[in-house]
């Protein structure tokens, strides 16, 4: 996977060039995370790169973004539960401390996580987890991508 799209995640999604995008949703893009130390980690990217905060969206778009987050969270939950019996829950987060565009994280959590990590935010995992090639998004994650995408299709068809 080349990294050029990483410099402009939203622009590359709008152009159809972001390889992590799973589906276009109402107010953003559902994307699988670059790292998969918690398999199923996904991100909701707002569809306007100029938007930095949720409060910058007009109320209707804000609600649409939050609704998209709900759908992505449920899709990850269903896919992870089906693929890993140790699935426990999802954590939803809108932080905005590093990237200057609105996005939300969907972190699946599992019973097999280290005991000292289970009750803390994912951000307290060792920094190596974000850089270690063994956790990088790769073709071996394609079945997981397909399951999440299938769930997104199912959930959005219900609307």
Q: CA-based angle 149:151:153, to the nearest 5?
A: 70
In whole angstroms, give the CA distance from residue 35 to residue 31.
12
Task: Report pLDDT for 1.
Answer: 46
The residues, ordered by sequence, that sit 6+ positions from 33 with a Cβ below 8 Å of its Cβ are: 20, 41, 42, 43, 105, 137
Predicted confidence at residue 89, as pLDDT, reads 96
How far CA 91 is from CA of 14, 107, 109, in Å, comes to 26, 5, 7
pTM: 0.94
Q: What is the DSSP string of 18-61?
A: -TTEEEE-SSEEEEE-SB-SSTT-EEEEES-TT--SGGGS-HHH
State the 10-residue block means of pLDDT for the chain, 159 residues long. Answer: 78 94 98 96 96 95 98 98 97 84 96 90 89 92 96 91
Tokens representing residue 139 in the block? 């073709």
pLDDT of residue 119: 85
**Whole-angstrom distance, CA of residue 149 vs CA of residue 86:** 21
The pLDDT assigned to 40 comes to 98
């Amino acid at each position: 996977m080349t990294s050029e799209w990483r410099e402009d995640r939203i622009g590359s999604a709008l152009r159809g060039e972001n390889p992590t995008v799973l589906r276009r949703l109402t107010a953003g893009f559902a994307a699988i995370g670059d790292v998969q130390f918690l398999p199923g980690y996904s991100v909701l990217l707002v569809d306007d790169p100029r938007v930095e905060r949720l409060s910058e969206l007009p109320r209707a778009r804000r609600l649409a973004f939050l609704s998209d987050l709900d759908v992505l969270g449920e899709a990850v939950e269903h896919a992870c539960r089906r693929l890993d019996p140790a699935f426990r829950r999802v954590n939803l987060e809108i932080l905005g401390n590093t990237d200057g565009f609105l996005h939300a994280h969907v972190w699946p959590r599992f019973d097999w996580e280290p005991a000292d990590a289970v009750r803390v935010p994912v951000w307290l995992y060792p920094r190596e987890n974000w850089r270690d090639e063994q956790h990088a998004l790769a073709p071996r994650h394609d079945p997981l991508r397909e399951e999440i995408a299938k769930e997104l299709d199912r959930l959005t068809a219900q609307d």
